[in-house]
Amino acid sequence: MEGIWDINKIQEILPQRYPFLFIDRVISIDEKEGKVVCLKNFTANDYFFTGHFPGKPVVPGVIMIEAMAQASIIGYAAIKPEIANKHPTYYLGKVEAKFKRPVGVGDQLIIEVKKEKIVNNAGVVSAIAKVGEETAVEAKIMFGVILAENSKSQITSTK
């Protein structure tokens, strides 16, 4: 499965780095539909498996939510490249998630994110993360976007 964005392009957009970068490849982007499909491979070498849970390792739910949030930012960057190229700060807002199945060592998580509403300073997306044809997590994710020159005035003026 060849991606349209490799890890180098992903790192141009996402501020996270190992071990907190949870997107390995972008498989497809449809700017018109506001849809992005990303991939995350989980291996026995992932740091969180040693303690969650020894003998029966499971990907923590918060890691899957973070992967979905990172895929959301990639979707935002595809729709609003003029803002994303300025390297804004992204803030995770509200997340509503339903976990359907565990994800473990050797699983490949396919994350599909579709915009519900994207504006310059925020976004709302629906996301589904699957292992094969099985849904692992469904979520609605809301996030904020602040450009560096606006960050102080926007943060301090919210009273």
Number of H helices, E strands in the chain: 4, 6
**Buried/exposed 123-158: b ≥16 CB within 10 Å, e otherwise:** bbbbbbbbbeeeebbbbebbbebbeeeeeeeeeeee
Which helix or strand (DSSP H or E) is residue 35 part of? Answer: strand 35-41
> Which residues are the active-site residues?
52
Q: Among 68, 55, 89, 85, which Cα is nearest to 136's?
A: 68
> Could you give the CA distance from residue 118 to residue 137 in angstroms, rounded to a whole number?
22
Within 13 A of 81's CA, how many CA atoms are on the CB side? 5
